[in-house]
Structure formats: C-alpha cells, structure tokens
Amino acid sequence: MSTTGTNSRTGEDLSPAGELRAAIAGFVGDFRAFATDIQTKLQQQDDRMTRLDRKSLHSAQRPALAVAADLDAPHQKAFNAYLRSGDDDGLRSLDIESKAMSSAVGADGGYLVSPQTSETVAKVLLSAASIRSAATVVNVESSSFDVLIDRGDVGAGWATETGASTETTTSTLEKISIPLNELAAMPKISQRLLDDSAFDVEEWLAGRIAEKFARSEAAAFVSGNGTDKPRGFMDYAKVANASWTWGNIGYIASGAAATISSTDPLVDMIYALGSEYRAGAIWVMNSKTAAVLRKLKDADGRYLWSDGFAAGEPARLLGYPVLVSEDMPDIAANAHPVAFGNFKSGYTIAERPDLRVLRDPFSAKPNVLFYATKRVGGAVSDFAAIKVLRIATA
C-alpha cells in the first residue's frame, strides 16, 4: 500500500504528515476568509443600527405638532362632515376604542359628539353659576344611580380585661335612588352658513348646547320637581329645624315677616348645620338677596360681606363662600331665599358621559336643527347637610 500522496499544487508526492499539514493549512485559510466575511457583515449591520438610532433620536427631539388633535382627527372630521351635510358614512365606519366615544349609535337617535365638543360643554357646565359646581357629580352607565347614606355612627363602648362585652348599636343605611332624565337642546342654523368652510360649526354647536344645558340644569337642581327632570333641593318639604327629621330640609326663621333685618338668623343657620358639614359649606342665594345681605353690618358698623381678593374667588358671608344662583327665590313672606350647606355631601348629580346630536334638515327648512341630548339626574343625598332660611317671624 502506498504511503505517499500528491500535492495538488506542485504535483509532488507527500508523506502522510505532509498531507495532514497541507489539509490543516487549507482549513485555516478557509476559516480566516469566513471569519473576515462575518466580521464585515457585522460591521455593516452595526453601522445600519447606528444610523437608525440617530434618526430615532432626531425624531424624538423634534416638537410634536398637533398630537392631541391627530388622535381624535378621524372622529372630528367625520363628525364635522355629518354636521355640515348629514354625511354619516364616516361615523358609521369608525371603530373608536373608547367606552364613551363609540359612534355607532345612529339607531338610538343621533351620534356622539367629538371629544373636543364634549369637553367644551362639560367645562361650561362646571363653570356656570349652578349647584353642579358645588355638588358631587358621578358618571354612570345605567338608567339610575343608587346612593347609600349612613345615618348614624356605629356604637362603641369601653371594655375591661375580664368583663363581658355588651352589644353595641348599629348604623342605619338609607338608600336613595337618582333616576336619569333626558336633557335636550335644539339650536338652529342656516344651511348656507354650514356650507361656509370658514365657519367653525363645532365651536358654534358646543356654545349653543352648553348655554341651554347650563340654564336648564341650574334651574332643575334648585327647584326641579323630579318629574322627567332632576329634583331640586328646594322641592323637598321644609320643617322647623328644631323638629327636623330625615327626608325634610330644616329651616331657620328670619325673625321678620317679609325681610332679613338681622344677621342673627344667618349665624343660627351656620350652627344649625352639623360640625362635620361646616368645613365645606357654602351660601346659595340669588342676586337680589345678595344685594340685601351685602348691606348688613355688625354692631361695630362693619360689613359682614367680603369680596374675593383674587380673580375667580367667591365672595364670602360670615366667612363662608357665596354661590349666586338666580334660580333661588326672592325675599318675600314665607319664602326660602337663602340656603346654607355642604352640597358636596348633601346633593348628588348623576349623568351619563355621552352627548348625542341628531341632525334634522327637514323640520325648519331652509334652516337645520341639531337635536342634542344627554341624560342627567339629581337629588338630595343627605338631608342633614342643607339648611334654608324662611322669611317668617317663627
């Protein structure tokens, strides 16, 4: 058997050792070429990643232009087209992943307004001279809202190490149900104005809806009778505070048959309210009553009314803020023109977060009607938290 090989390059015969060395040398050469190729590709990949990182960094450093508007742009454009021309194809095809902004409600009588319009209406309602600004407001998805009120404290007692424990009293829970009613507004505008692209139809619509809703709400939260509308705190039965019972509003007599001539009944109102409510209490009255109380002075001739020192700060009477609500009654015999209480505890407003608009181009041609609706309810939730002043001698 032959023990020599042939060198493929020189044609010379090689011994087994030489043949092994030649094979190893060839393998090493091929491996080095492979390693070099891999190193080159890795370097190229690293260069590309570096360029991507720099591009991302520059993009992040650029100021975001109209990001908030872009998020809601599809719904806003579709809603604007619906308001101007009645084209609801855009709204029907939208798939908005938001619990409060699903647009597919055409069968229910309209479409939900764009987020910008809804926010504008909410801000106006909150800033209006209404009980809403002082009451508790909750958003619900059902047709009513139930409030559980604890009317008493859980009993307690002292215990000894060896003595038998006695049973303590339990608190009383009162359930108050607040139904939601439909609040509607129907502003009107000409089709010619809607065709004008320079006219901001959403801003106009938001302003008209907010104005009408604010007036209707404010009146209902004060004097609404609870039939297809919220029940106002002035609609409940009123009894002398000395004989007050749950379910009624306690009153303090003014001491005069047809006017308010002294600050004494106002002081009595403050201390007729429980101490747990006084920290967040406010006065509620209309402008005519405020004009009368503004002139009252103490024994040293100092006015009891003080204006706010900063813009937006409410005036104060005997140290407590004043909310001027024009829906409160005027000063007259047996009227109740002044309320004092903690409305955050005493009055609850329940509402659905959605606001719907139905376009009607037929009923008032050549004008277009926009029928806007929302559901809201209100009721007294704690009868111990509100007191009123009765114009009477006793």
- Residue 231 placed within a domain: no
- Residue 257 placed within a domain: yes
Q: What is the pLDDT of residues 149-178, one digit of tens each?
A: 776 654 556 666 676 666 655 567 778 899
Output the six-digit token pair for 72.
Answer: 């809601």
Give which of 370, 359, 386, 371 is closest to 87, Cα–Cα. Answer: 359
Residue 93's pLDDT band (boundaries 50, 70, 90)? low
- Residue 274 placed within a domain: yes
Whether the pLDDT of residue 27 is over 50: the answer is yes
Q: Are strands 320-324 and 282-285 parallel, antiparallel or unpaired?
A: parallel
Whether the pLDDT of residue 94 is over 70: the answer is no
Domains held by the chain: number = 2
Q: How far apart are CA 166 and CA 287, in angstroms?
A: 55
Q: What is the pLDDT of residues 371-389, one digit of tens each?
A: 888 899 999 999 999 999 9
Residue with the two structure tokens 């023990």: 3
Q: Who's near 110: CB < 8 A, 6+ residues apart?
A: 356, 357, 358, 371, 372, 373
- Residue 323 placed within a domain: yes
Give which of 217, 222, 203 is closest to 284, Cα–Cα. Answer: 222
Maximum mean pLDDT: which of 56-60, 69-73, 143-147, 340-344: 340-344
The helix/strand/coil state of 250 is strand
Q: How far apart are CA 251 and CA 234, in angstroms?
A: 11
Q: How far apart are CA 264 and CA 268, in angstroms?
A: 6
From its phi and psi, is residue 21 left (phi > 0), alpha (psi between -120 and 50) or beta? Answer: alpha
The helix/strand/coil state of 393 is coil
Whether the pLDDT of residue 76 is over 90: the answer is no
Residue 102's pLDDT band (boundaries 50, 70, 90)? very low
Residue 201's pLDDT band (boundaries 50, 70, 90)? confident
- Residue 54 placed within a domain: no
- Residue 143 placed within a domain: no
Residue with the two structure tokens 């009408």: 212
Domain of residue 36 covers: 12-40
Q: Are strands 5-6 and 13-14 parallel, antiparallel or unpaired?
A: antiparallel
- Residue 169 placed within a domain: no
335, 159 contact by CB (below 8 A): no
Q: What is the pLDDT of residues 266-314, one digit of tens each?
A: 999 999 999 999 999 999 999 999 999 999 888 788 888 888 777 678 8
ω into residue 16 within 30 of 0, thus cis? no
**CATH code for the domain in which residue 300 is found:** 3.30.2320
- Residue 137 placed within a domain: no
